[in-house]
Structure 1
């Protein structure tokens, strides 16, 4: 809304309001598509109104009022979540919100009324002040949406971790020492949770992406980025077992996870058991996966005797006889050269430092 208002003040208007036109730089959203601006004609409506509602208002409303996971609908609806779909999924209480009523529910009904008409609908004449009023109403609707980052599986991971203080301190010291030793310019922290260990790479000066499957953990990381004005940490939502694919026309509009520039180093802390046991990925395939991502890897081995692994196995048959540290070493030694191995003091876990090469 701020961009559209600024454009109107200069005699221009946004013709597009795609979420893909917004990228994050130094923790702040930035418009990257300058071709979206066109001269404003007095009396015309906002051409990007529908697209803004589908790309921003609808997904935010669904995440705030129904379930944060519904934001993933944007993966299969590249031009935003259809308003009739969003309206049908939202709870009845959302009709009591004036902004959602007007810009989402009634907007959806208007769309359905005209969808099959053969005659062209005459555009409404809207004064500049009327257009500014619509922008104010939209902004109010968006600002009225709230979601507390809690209630998800891993939102409180570091409050419920099985690490004693000694183990946490030793793990932090080792990871920090290896980051300093390898001196990476870029780091991907896979399974980063709220970015606690990502910030070790940030402190070293590396451009860091903190990837995690848990929306609440990612939101906590982002709020930390904003509150501390971190310019080189970017939180991102990602399911490693189902990473972002190539999307769009000829699968070339949006790059897949693997097509993006790989980092100098990857962190995989407290992750291997979730992949190998939680998601049935063999250790050999895990090793291939990490080698495809990064030439340098810091990874934490979590044995079956660990309480977190016991939790994964408590309601299922243990069909993982090859989940041993020896098998782990054998698999990763095929794809990396082992530089260091350090047990985490006060725990049964072990940290490994791997580098590409024989």
Structure 2
């Protein structure tokens, strides 16, 4: 029996699918989120929200902004729904095949943005929520270190939240926690020379390769809950020609830290210290995150990816939830199941009601 997509697209939550499609069709690669932010601002204002446009500085000077939205004039809400509006490159457009919606951002993270808005709108109608109950925060550049959420954390000036529900693809389960990050550049500096006379130069690539080998074979901390810490050497650059001893070589490295980020940093630094010509640049770390997941009716999941969770500080309960799988995010076949997108609205509604009942 074939899947009946039209029954969803033209059903009681057809606005969910219209909103999701509109969001996906607006290209919003990290750093270039103005268009999708402007669309959301107008959309929410038409629903009666007060929308605060919070410009976030961007290296190239392009304008983009976080959006903080709430009904009425009370900005200090008890519950916050939050997700990000940027995507990874490259962009590819919206399409529907069988029971799936394909396109950049369909599952990371415009599915969560759309479902959160629809969930809140339904609850406002069904449960007569107060304007001070739930707010919305949609941020930029989660995919590149989270400067949007960090900016919101510093400048929003709200300390009323009792619960924050973060949206990410979790397969409709509640995240138990996720790994932290240690990311940095190893930069080796040598001396150029003719490759036929290596004794006249200092080979930066040799130093870098040795250091990377030691790092990849180091014993990193591991967690019974979150698993192994893993190393990814994402980018390697060095040299100018095959017949020239390279005078510079560098690697961008990201370690997914399941436990004890400080110990991992010590290992990274101790390896660099073994070489006179090796430096560490742009070291950034975020510790592993443990979340609330004991809610009736929800399964749980352990996650290996990182989120904006650590960048929003406060004494509140944290949930992580959303439709779809991280396994297809960032890929050339990114998609969200049509039914999961629909059902995630109910999931957000349950989490909101559970949070307000506490």
Identify which of structures 1 and 2 has the higher relative contact order when contacts are C-alpha pairs closer than 8 Å and 6+ apart.
Answer: 2
TM-score by length of 1: 0.24
- More helix, by proportion: 1
TM-score, normalising length: structure 2: 0.24
| Structure number with higher strand proportion | 2
